Structure 1
């Protein structure tokens, strides 16, 4: 009986996890090009939902990206909130590492690691997330998918003890409109 309870608990917990499979994105185009997409002005908008699906934040982000002299992508992000509160400013420094990427930012607790799978990028890191009067160390498991050369969709799974406690959905669009894009969506 004890073994049956353990097996049922593991099945339940595994059902709570994100089920994104990286290999299926290797053949989908267009391929994601992180340095090209984030070079220049990027506009983003999104929401954060808690584990019950309740909206806890609605936000917009102005991102200014540039390639530094050391071939590092620098993303200067400024956040504004229509609902809820959160970080106001973040600066990422992202470097190419073989086929993937590493990065750090002023409020990120660990080095971020990213891998590209065709039109998808998986970006993982830990952050000390302030909630009310407490700070929690959480893991971010971000997945970004290229729609075209200037539009990305990002789905982030925020985890504590391996369980998803919140999800973030973000749409991003490069405002400099490379060839193949249909038009800016900046409000």
Structure 2
């Protein structure tokens, strides 16, 4: 094998392994144990920001959320207020599946979100219909939430399109 081909093969392997992240099972023994039905029940608030891939903060926002549950089915009503004064609303319906995984839908989500809880962590992926100027982009979210204590949850989501990272969303949830 010539040197150029070997170098290309090594570069491909390193690139693929660099993309690999932790699995949610890595957090299975972490406490406190996250139960979506408990944490996302009632009134919550969150503060967050969107950072472009270069780290620049492009948007800041506040979220007021109300969660209601009927068994393994929950409705999360999120009301966003952005720093520029614009408002947005997203209503999630979450359903725990018999195998313990979660499925979620919302009007601005393409198809279903799919997630797994392990220990204090919730990892889910979905495609959001994001309005950009006069068009709508389908943007992939790789979303991680970590329960810190009974009141605080941290959330970090990576946004990408066609496999290229657009930026990160960071949130701090607070349950009074």
- C-alpha distance 134-18 of structure 1, shift in aligned 2 (>3 A): farther
TM-score (norm 1): 0.83
Give the CA deviation at 1:132. Answer: 2.2
Q: Hey, what does 2:42 align to over in structure 1?
A: 40
Give the CA deviation at 1:5. Answer: 3.2
| Secondary structure in structure 2 of the residue aligned to 1:93 | strand
Q: Which runs of 5+ in 2 are unaligned?
A: none
Runs ≥4 in structure 1, deviation > 6 angstroms?
A: none
Give the CA deviation at 1:137. Answer: 1.2
Q: Hey, what does 1:4 align to over in structure 2?
A: 7
Q: Hey, what does 2:62 align to over in structure 1?
A: 60
Aligned length: 172
Q: Which runs of 5+ in 1 are unaligned?
A: 176-187
Q: Hey, what does 1:49 align to over in structure 2?
A: 51
Matches of residues 1-187 of structure 1 in structure 2 within 5 Å? 1-5=4-8, 7-8=10-11, 11-12=14-15, 15=18, 17=19, 19-68=21-70, 71-83=72-84, 88-97=88-97, 98-175=99-176
| Secondary structure in structure 2 of the residue aligned to 1:31 | coil
Q: Hey, what does 1:184 align to over in structure 2?
A: none
Q: Hey, what does 1:181 align to over in structure 2?
A: none
CA contact (8 A) 1:58 1:84 kept: no
Give the CA deviation at 1:84. Answer: 8.3
CA contact (8 A) 1:49 1:167 kept: yes
TM-score (norm 2): 0.87
Q: Deviations over 1:51-103 (max 9, x none)?
A: 111111100000011114x6420111110011586x60011111111312111
| Secondary structure in structure 1 of the residue aligned to 2:39 | helix
